């Protein structure tokens, strides 16, 4: 298997590129989906979180009260560290489990991870960054997500900068033009990915996190 990472700022077009890569045969490991599944009602992780932060972080229907967790960790560094200490290892081991399912195959496995820039990962044959200028990201988030412009800017500003993310890229996908151009760029990218070295046993479980 060939394991690559895919990231990009909010509204850059990661999900769109991820779908295009899946159409070309990639296996997608979706970090956001994994995070949602791990924190679904009844998941063991919620019990661990409640043990640390109190039962008030669980809604009556068993779901996680994300706003309650956010307000606890917002002003308390130790709480944030503990939260990461609970969520992060569970995320990493589920990501690794899903990647390992394809070990020994010829598949291209794409780890779709919005926070890959913040959490670089070893053992990736490539780090693909979907890139658009700041103002275009704001415009797309406002237009397609219905977000207020100030909220969109705040969300984007809370992430690492475009420049920091690009520093870690081995492959950059410029998504500032239309979807047809993006399809063409993804065709080129796909051909490049197929030429990458396969992930060998030496990189097994070799994660920076
Ligand atoms: P988020 O981090 O917010 O989940 P994302 O990086 O996954 O965003 P997408 O959901 O793929 O981004 O794209 C954001 C919006 O922009 C979507 O509504 C998508 O349809 C649209 N979009 C993506 N690429 C283009 C493009 N080249 N031209 C026009 N619209 C686009």
pLDDT tens by residue, 168-183: 999 999 999 999 999 9
Give me the sign of the Cα torsion angle 73, 79, 81, 82. negative
Enumerate the β-bridge partners of residue 112: 6, 30
pLDDT at position 119 is 85
Q: Are 193 and 28 in contact (CB under 8 A)?
A: no
Q: Are 17 and 139 in contact (CB under 8 A)?
A: no
Mean pLDDT of 1-12: 96
Closest ligand 1 atom, CA of 145?
18
50 CA from centroid of ligand 1 (Å): 34
pLDDT bucket at 74, cuts 50 / 70 / 90? confident
CA dist 23 and 185 (Å) reads 14
Question: Is 15 close to ligand 1, i.e. is its CB under 6 Å away?
Answer: yes
Question: If you measure from the C-alpha of residue 69 to the centroid of ligand 1, how many angstroms do you get, rounded to a whole number?
Answer: 28
What pLDDT is attached to residue 170? 96
> How far apart, in whole angstroms, are the C-alpha atoms of residue 117 and residue 132?
15
| Nearest CA, atom 8, ligand 1 | 11
Can you give the pTM of this predicted structure? Answer: 0.90
Q: What are the CA-CA distances from residue 114 to residues 5, 7, 41, 160, 161 (Å)?
A: 10, 5, 23, 11, 13
Distance 60 CA to ligand 1 centre (A): 34
Pair 125, 167: CB distance under 8 Å: no
Task: Name the band, by pLDDT with cuts 50, 70 and 90, for residue 208.
Answer: very low
Q: What is the pLDDT of residue 24?
A: 98
Per-residue pLDDT band at 201 (split at 50, 70, 90) = low
2-39+90-194 is a CATH 3.50.50.60 domain: no
Rounded to 10 degrees, what is the CA torsion of 173, 193, 110, 168?
A: -50
Handedness of CA 90, 38, 16, 152 (dihedral sign): negative
User: Using a 6 Å cutoff on CB, does residue 8 contact ligand 1?
Assistant: yes
Whether 189 contacts 171, CB under 8 Å: yes
pLDDT confidence of residue 199: 83
Whether the CB-CB separation of 42 and 165 falls below 8 Å is answered with no
86: pLDDT confidence band, cut at 50, 70 and 90?
Answer: very high
Q: Where are the beta strands (DSSP E) in 11-119?
A: 27-30, 108-112
pLDDT, the chain, mean: 93
Q: Measuring CA to CA, which residue among 2, 1, 4, 3 is closest to residue 173? A: 4
Q: Is the model's pLDDT at 206 over the cut of 60?
A: no
The β-bridge partners of 172 are 129
SS3 4: strand
Cα 156 to its chain centre, rounded Å, is 15
pLDDT tens per residue, range 17-69: 999 999 999 999 999 999 999 999 999 999 999 999 999 999 999 999 999 99
């Amino acid at each position: 298997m060939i394991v690559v990472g895919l990231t990009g700022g909010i509204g850059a077009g990661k999900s769109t590129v991820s779908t295009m890569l899946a159409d070309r045969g990639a296996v997608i490991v979706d970090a956001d989906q994994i995070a949602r599944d791990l924190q679904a009602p009844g998941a063991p992780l919620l019990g661990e979180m409640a043990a640390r932060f109190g039962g008030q972080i669980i809604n009556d229907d068993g779901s996680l009260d994300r706003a309650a967790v956010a307000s606890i960790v917002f002003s308390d560094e130790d709480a944030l560290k503990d939260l990461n200490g609970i969520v992060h290892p569970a995320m990493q081991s589920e990501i690794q489990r899903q990647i390992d399912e394809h070990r020994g195959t010829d598949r291209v496995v794409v780890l779709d991870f919005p926070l890959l820039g913040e959490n670089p990962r070893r053992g990736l044959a490539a780090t693909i960054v979907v890139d658009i200028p700041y103002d275009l990201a704001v415009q797309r988030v406002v237009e397609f997500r219905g977000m207020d412009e100030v909220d969109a800017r705040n969300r984007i500003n809370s992430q690492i900068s475009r420049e920091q993310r690009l520093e870690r890229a081995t492959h950059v996908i410029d998504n500032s033009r239309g979807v047809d151009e993006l399809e063409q760029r993804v065709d080129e990218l796909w051909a490049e990915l197929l030429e990458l070295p396969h992930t060998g046993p030496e990189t097994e479980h070799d994660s920076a996190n």
